[in-house]
Chain A
Amino acid sequence: DTGVSQDPRHKITKRGQNVTFRCDPISEHNRLYWYRQTLGQGPEFLTYFQNEAQLEKSRLLSDRFSAERPKGSFSTLEIQRTEQGDSAMYLCASSLMLGTGVTEAFFGQGTRLTVV
């Protein structure tokens, strides 16, 4: 397995446009997380899924943001009507929830979004 993959790695978009990012987790992992990281800060939690169910959303996730994981495998994060404040690195992580606990989270390399 090649780890967590994110696509694209970089995205430049004009303010007001919609963008969609994709995350492919490690294949057997049932948990998938999205985080956002701005320059000089640590990653901030956005949302997470267990299989296809979205179990929690942060208050950071405004109505313009939507995340899906339709078949419990890959996930998409869409931002509608982008704003300059959306410029950040968007990170995806996955882990495996077992009866005995959760394995460590493995992170992708992120998608860097620049809104101009």
Chain B
Amino acid sequence: GNSVTQMEGPVTLSEEAFLTINCTYTATGYPSLFWYVQYPGEGLQLLLKATKADDKGSNKGFEATYRKETTSFHLEKGSVQVSDSAVYFCAGSNFGNEKLTFGTGTRLTIIP
């Protein structure tokens, strides 16, 4: 089956710092890859996605590139803000059932 390994947290950064959260996956075939975000008191929201190798997903200043050769989908942002404080989940799914396999989540705290 599929599995997703995500960088352990928590991560604390100062505002305007550069962010990287690592994610690697193992899967049969070529899954679609996602980053979900959970803000305090809210449900999971899709942040970005990529459906094939070399695709780059981007949203709200965040980016992640689907790297087949390293089986990775690292999340990056050039300059984080306090409002980015949340828990971030990497996930993958296979075509057909589209059920999501999640990583353990990384709690990000941005301090002013």
Write the residues of chain A forming the contact surface with B, with a CB cutoff of 8 angstroms.
Answer: 4, 31, 33, 35, 40-45, 48, 55-56, 91, 93, 95, 101-102, 104-110
**Given A91-B44, A104-B46, also A42-B99 (CB < 8 A):** no
What is the minimal beta-carbon distance from B71 to any residue of chain A, in angstroms? 18
CA distance A105 to B99 in the complex (A): 9
The CA of A48 and the CA of B98, in the complex, are separated in Å by 10
Instruction: List 5 additional contacts besides A107-B36, A109-B42; criterion CB under 8 Å.
Output: A42-B91, A43-B102, A55-B97, A93-B44, A95-B98
Q: Which residue of A lies closest to B103 (CB)?
A: A42
Size of B's binding interface in residues, CB under 8 A: 21
Q: Are A105 and B46 in contact (CB under 8 A)?
A: yes
What's the nearest-Cβ distance from chain A to residue B92, in Å? 11
Residues of A close to B42: CB separation below 8 A? 109
**B97–A41 contact, CB under 8 A?**
no
A107 and B105 contact, CB distance less than 8 A: no
Interface residues of B (CB under 8 A from A): 4, 6, 36, 42-46, 49, 89, 91, 95, 97-105
SS of B interface (majority):
strand
Nearest CB of A to B75, in Å: 14
Report B-chain residues with C-beta under 8 Å of the C-beta of A48: 97, 99
B91 touches A110 (CB 8 A): no
Interface SS majority for chain A? strand
A56 vs B91: C-alpha distance in the bound complex, in angstroms? Answer: 19
**Cβ distance B41 to chain A, nearest Cβ, rounded Å:** 8
A109-B104 Cα distance, complex, nearest whole Å: 18
Partner of B105, one of A41, A44, A93, A104: A41
Query: Which residues of the other chain, B, contact A104 by a CB distance below 8 angstroms?
Result: 46, 49
Q: How far is the CB of A102 from chain B (nearest CB, A)?
A: 5
Of the residues A41, A55, A95, contact of B104 by C-beta under 8 Å: A41
Contact, CB under 8 Å: A45 / B99: yes
